[in-house]
Amino acid sequence: MSLPTEPIGSIPRSAELLATLSAHEQGRLASKDLAGAVDQAVAETIQRLQAAGSPVVTDGEQGKPSFATYPIAGLKGLSPDGVVIPFADGHVRQLPSLTAGPFRYQQHADGYLKAALAHAGVPVKQAVIAPSALSLLYPAEGIGGYSREEFLADLADEAEADIRGCLDAGAHKVQLDFTEGRLSLKLDPSGGVLADFIALNNRVLDRFTPAERARIGVHTCPGGDQDSTHSLDVDYAGLLPQLFQLNVGSFYVQLASEPDPDRVLAVIADQLPASAQVFVGVIDPIDPRVETPEEVRDRVLNAARHLPADRLGTCDDCGFSPFADDTSTSRETAFAKVRARVEGTALAAELLGV
């Protein structure tokens, strides 16, 4: 199959792993015991992704507390009263707020990648959080003796190291998670915050060569947590032209859950950079129903009516459990949806002759 298909990232953690993570957080389990449990979960996750036919795998983010906060887990100098992210069903997630500098990652993503590579028999991609998301840690009132400009310089250095470490370790792709892009237009319809996000991310991406950027992608979605979203009501037409200004080789665009996918595809066809590939979402992780391969095939064929097949790929709309404590989707459902994506993409590829 030459039509590429890739997962986005997270797979729901098992009840046993969640209990282990909780025990460690509460100080009832040694770090070495946690590491063993996580490694076992990663191995089992990769084995099941490969069994589902996935030509590219991830570690399922089994050891991450969340897709967004892994770099700051254990960081001193944080307060809990940071930016609040409201979801459509009424629940919220809240980021911490930085109280002191200098800002340093406590964990870089290449550690997760290297652990996954030890178990994988196929290429491994690695998701990293976009620097724009972590820029939200800096408080509006500032930090005495540590300016926002100093913070952004430190953040850019750390984000570069996060990406570069994964490229150097052999990642098939490094995917920047940029869910805050669409959300920013809900918080600031003028687009000023989005423009700042794009500029910051490009400040980091511009440090890489064209060959390196060809292995870097960016993922956009309206959030996905506890079967709810934070910005599905924001018009994609306001985001995509700005998104496509990011200097990356691949774009992963949530599409399966969009109410009018043809409208979005028309914008993509008009705005996609000439050198980039777009992976369209053909699986909705929030929908409890498992899509059939034929449904996936038809979604791909519809996308191919708008986009050249040689610039097209497929993905899931979002990770299945971006926050570790989100158990709204079962592991069994997630793996069944992955298999449907792989089989449906293969059906479409055969019909498209690619």
What length is written for the chain? Answer: 354
pLDDT under 50: residue ranges of the chain: 1
How many Cβ atoms sit within 10 Å of the Cβ of residue 94? 12
Question: What pLDDT does residue 263 have?
Answer: 96
Q: What is the pLDDT of residue 189?
A: 95
Phi, psi of 31 (to 5 degrees): -60, -35
Supply the DSSP symbol for 136.
Answer: G
In tens, the pLDDT along 188-224 reads 999 999 999 999 999 999 999 999 999 999 999 998 8
Cα(86)–Cα(233) distance, integer angstroms: 13
| Cα distance between the two ends of the chain | 7
Host H or E run for residue 301 = helix 293-304
pLDDT of residue 35: 87
Can you give the pLDDT at residue 34? 84
Range of the domain at 207: 5-352
Task: Give CA–CA dist 47/45, Å, rounded.
Answer: 5
Predicted local distance difference test score (pLDDT) of residue 346: 97
Report pLDDT for 2: 83
Q: Which amino acid is at 81?
A: D
Residues in contact with 135: Cβ distance below 8 Å, sequence separation at least 6, in sequence order: 151, 152, 155, 196, 197, 200
| E strand residue ranges, the chain | 5-6, 78-79, 84-86, 92-94, 97-98, 126-129, 174-177, 216-220, 250-253, 277-283, 312-316
CA atoms of 254 and 165, how far apart (whole Å): 27
CATH number for the domain spanning 66: value is 3.20.20.210
Q: What is the pLDDT of residue 270?
A: 96
Q: What is residue 32's predicted lDDT score, i.e. its pLDDT?
A: 79
The predicted structure's pLDDT at residue 26 = 81
Per the structure, the count of domains in the chain is: 1
Rounded Cα gap, residues 229 and 86, in angstroms: 9
